Amino acid sequence: MNLLMCPVCREALSLTDRTWRCVNNHSYDVAKQGYVNLHVVQHKHSKNPGDTLESVEARRQFLSAGFYAPLQQAVIQKIRDLRIENLLDIGCGEGYYTNAMQQEVLQCVGVDIAKNAVQIAAKLNKAVTWVVGTGAILPVLDNSIDLCSSLFSPIPQQEILRVLKSKAHLLVATPAPQHLYAMREALFDEVKPHTPHKFVEQLQDDFELVDQDVVDSEFILNQIQLKNLIAMTPYAYKAKPEKRLLLEQQAHFNLMASFQIYIFQKK
């Protein structure tokens, strides 16, 4: 079953000879890398929205080294337990989590606003439908999705409600209170714990919280790995340059990543 929706007229898209087309003849070609761009110009607020190429490449290198594998494995187990047929990964980035999640479902759509990230993701796994698109208009049909996932990504609540089937699920992964605390202490004068529970409060009118877990991962980073981790986070531009430079001079750095996983069910 096709899941994609035309972002212009909101009709179903069908794929013929590497072109997605709707009944109103709006058409979108599959790029040679294997993704389709459904982020139409009238919905764009900048020329190159989303993460920079530097950030995407830093994240690809850091994640491929396995430091966040405990989160990836925990998410896979949650999906396996839900026994679903399809999922939409919102903010799929370069595809590290999406690629693994696809193994557990019959159909998987990965969407991200950053074209340079989706271009990298599309090389990973041809079984995923990779899409450049925006959370403001998720490019999938109404009431078509068993599970939406958002890992460190925005949660477009109304759009998620639109695309999820009745009683379907939303999986959210976000920093737990102590996530990367030592690194944040080195980068900022004042450090406050993350507040993942804000998502429970944000979603409570439309979703019931049915499962929650905290997953920790401890590791020692060398200088290159540390630089990649900083570059892939918002800390890269939020921290004072002199503090970032000082931290990046460390030969080794001990860290704990701490992830909060929530599973919500649509009311």
Taking residue 87's Cβ as centre, other Cβ atoms within 10 Å add up to 27
Is 6 one of the annotated binding-site residues? yes
**Beta pairing partners, 236:** none
Q: What is the mean pLDDT of residues 27-54?
A: 81
Is 95 one of the annotated binding-site residues? yes
Is 148 one of the annotated binding-site residues? no
43 pLDDT tier (thresholds 50, 70, 90): low
Is 9 one of the annotated binding-site residues? yes
Q: Do the Cβ atoms of 176 and 225 come closer than 8 Å? A: no
Q: What is the mean pLDDT of residues 190-202?
A: 97
Is 92 one of the annotated binding-site residues? no
**Measured distance CA(38)–CA(138) in Å, rounded:** 9
**Measured distance CA(97)–CA(114) in Å, rounded:** 16
Q: Per the structure block, which two tokens stand in for 30?
A: 């599959």
Query: Residues with Cβ < 8 Å from 74, sequence gap 6 or more?
Result: 213, 215, 259, 261
Is 22 one of the annotated binding-site residues? yes
List, edge to edge, every strand of the sheet that includes 207-222.
35-37, 129-132, 107-112, 86-90, 145-151, 164-175, 252-266, 207-222
Q: What is the mean pLDDT of residues 176-192?
A: 97
Residue type, position 220, single letter = I
Could you report the per-residue pLDDT of 135-181, keeping only the tens digit for each? 999 999 999 999 999 999 999 999 999 999 999 999 999 999 999 99
Is 179 one of the annotated binding-site residues? yes
For residue 44, pLDDT over 70 is answered with: no
Is 94 one of the annotated binding-site residues? yes
b/e sequence 38-70, b meaning 16+ C-beta within 10 Å: bbbeeeeeeeeebbeeebbbbbbbbbeeebbeb
Q: What is the pLDDT of residue 52?
A: 87
Q: Do the Cβ atoms of 3 and 140 come closer than 8 Å? A: yes
Domains annotated on the chain, with CATH: 14-266 (3.40.50.150)
